[in-house]
Structure 1
Amino acid sequence: MTQPEIHQFPCLKDNYGVLVHDREGGVTLAIDAPDGAAVLAALDERGWDLTHILVTHHHADHIAGIPAVRAKTSCKVIGPKGEAARVPGLDQLVGEPDVLSLGSLKIAVLDTPGHTLGHVTYWIEQASVAFVGDTLFAMGCGRVLEGTPQMMWGSLSKIAALPRETSIYCGHEYTVSNAKFGLQIEPDNARLAARLAAAEAARAEGRATLPTRIDLELETNVFLRVDQPSIRKTTGLVTAEDWKVFADLRERKNRA
């Protein structure tokens, strides 16, 4: 089985759009549609015909482009059943433990609530890739806007438990600011400092810092490292449950 081609492109202020092209199966997927013109331009550049949009959550900067894209491509729109009332025009509702069979791809749907209540992640195990929307970022995580910190911690833990070599595509380019915050919490993490330097160099050259990988995040993302004694000492929550340490870190980042 051939691996799908994945094309990531910037759009809006700091969003990323992603196309997944399965030549063998004859399908092309868009992960969200932040900006219709950008998605259509990326399709045209690649010469791909869009068949599906996979929606991670209902926020406008992830779905605003759907009407324009659908009008040009007649694609099918698949999205979280928990947000059906907030994502107009969904053709198929999904949630865990659904597995989509699209072309030659098997795509597992993971419920990852917290940023929004119905947020989902799409995991293609055969390609070692997951599309996590705004739940996990490179060295960061999404704001807890609709769920609870405990809920968000559960979602992050679920993603972190994927195979370590899994590539992670996120919704936004927040890497530099996330890394700077992380170094405030874990200043002796040399791997984190090196990633910040690499991210700053990439952005100075106009290059993306994504995708990231599970193994890199486990080494450098303070939101996934709440079991580390140094982080617990920094937060003053030495014996607290993991989700409470996470909640403290998320609140600190909110104020940063």
Structure 2
Amino acid sequence: MALEIVTVPCLKDNYAYLVKGPDGVAVIDAPEAAPLIAALDERGWTPGVIMLTHHHWDHVEGIPGLKERWPDLVIMGPKAEEAKLPPVDMVLENGFEGGTDEGLCRVIPVPGHTLGHVAYHYPKAGAVFTADSLMALGCGRVFEGTPEMMYESLMRLAALPPETMVYSGHEYTTSNAKFALTIEPGNTALKLRVDEISRARADGHPTAQVPLSLELATNPFLRASDPGVKAALGMETASDVAVFTEIRARKDRF
């Protein structure tokens, strides 16, 4: 049974996801209850679990409303953030896996944005839910971790099969695209992608769900090791982490 994945816009620019597979329906992050309830009701789906990526309010605020509607919902979240999360029924260790067939899911540690942030990888389905770690043409701000930690997390995700679909947590792509062009204005793949993003957003379509291969070709935060990127920054002999740190600092000021 192939996974059915539904993107649910929430709040101002958040995304949550519904994942229906052989083991039932999972909600990945819960920024806001009403749109999630509407999306579930529209399909006649009953969620069994909410899987949280990290503790920030805009990824957990919808939990009370969802629990009110479905009292038996099981809340799962990273063990490293248990003290900061709303009450959870099951804590997930890094590397934990569960589910069957296309629904097999593995917990990947991606600290940096927060210290206990995780991503959820469905290897047999070719999908990874990255929230505020790897984002479309960007990455999350380094709030709790270090640049070294964030870069290592991104490289962990970059090592997944290139055909993996990346589902991130915010519609920041237009701003991220403008910034990416300041790093690689001559990147043909990036320029084509920027045009596609403009058309998609004009039509009201989300743009934060893309193949990893496209991120590898266009996302400056995944390209810190590229000689052309290093040359553009005047950092030809710098380490990859140093280049990433500079790119992140520039984005913070952008």
TM-score, normalization: structure 2? 0.97
**For 2:48, which of 48, 51, 68 is the aligned residue?**
51
**Counterpart for residue 248 of structure 2:** 250
Cα offset for 1:236?
A: 2.2
Contact 2:102–2:124 at 8 Å: present in 1 too?
no
Count of paired positions = 253
**Counterpart for residue 72 of structure 1:** 69
Matching of residues 23-172 of structure 1 within 5 Å: 24-25=22-23, 27-73=24-70, 74-101=72-99, 105-172=103-170
Rounded Cα–Cα distance in structure 1 between residues aligned with 2:181 and 2:192: 11
**Counterpart for residue 224 of structure 2:** 226
- Give the match's secondary structure for 1:194: helix
Divergent runs of 4+, >6 A: none
Contact 2:137–2:220 at 8 Å: present in 1 too?
yes
Cα offset for 1:52?
A: 0.3
Rounded Cα–Cα distance in structure 2 between residues aligned with 1:247 and 1:144: 10
Rounded Cα–Cα distance in structure 2 between residues aligned with 1:100 and 1:77: 15
Rounded Cα–Cα distance in structure 2 between residues aligned with 1:102 and 1:60: 31
CA RMSD in angstroms comes to: 1.2
Identity of aligned residues (%): 46
Rounded Cα–Cα distance in structure 1 between residues aligned with 2:129 and 2:237: 33
TM-score, normalization: structure 1? 0.96
Any gaps of 5 or more consecutive residues in structure 1? none
Task: Letter of the 1:188 partner, please give it.
Answer: G
Task: Letter of the 1:136 partner, please give it.
Answer: L
Task: Letter of the 2:187 partner, please give it.
Answer: N
Rounded Cα–Cα distance in structure 1 between residues aligned with 2:240 and 2:225: 7
- Give the match's secondary structure for 1:233: helix
Cα offset for 1:210?
A: 2.8
**For 2:205, which of 204, 207, 218 is the aligned residue?**
207
Contact 2:3–2:102 at 8 Å: present in 1 too?
no
Any gaps of 5 or more consecutive residues in structure 2? none
